[in-house]
Amino acid sequence: MFGLVIAVIYMIVMFFSGQTFPQAFLSATDFLLWWYIVTSIISAVFMALLALGLLGAGSVIGGLAKGAQGAVVGFFTGGAVAVWAAIIFIVSCAMSIGGAYFLHSSVEINSAGITQWNFPILIVGLIIIAIKVIWQMVSSVSSRKINEQIKNY
User: Helix 21-104 and helix 119-152: axis angle, to 10°?
Assistant: 70
The reported pLDDT for the residue numbered 153 is: 67
Torsion of CA 60, 66, 69, 73, to 10 degrees: -60
pLDDT > 90? residue 150: no
Structure confidence by residue, pLDDT tens digits, 17-57? 999 899 999 999 999 999 999 999 999 999 999 999 988 99
39-72 burial by CB neighbour count: b if 16+ within 10 A, else e?
Answer: ebeeeeeebeebbeebbeebbebbbeeeeeebbe
Number of independent structural domains in the chain: 1
Residue 98 structural domain: 2-152
Q: By C-alpha distance, which of 43, 137, 38 is closest to 90?
A: 43
Helices (H), 17-153: 21-104, 119-152
pLDDT value of position 145: 72
Q: What is the pTM of this model?
A: 0.82
Question: Which residues partner with 116 through β-bridges?
Answer: 108
Checking phi first, is residue 73 left (phi over 0); if not, alpha (psi -120 to 50) or beta? alpha
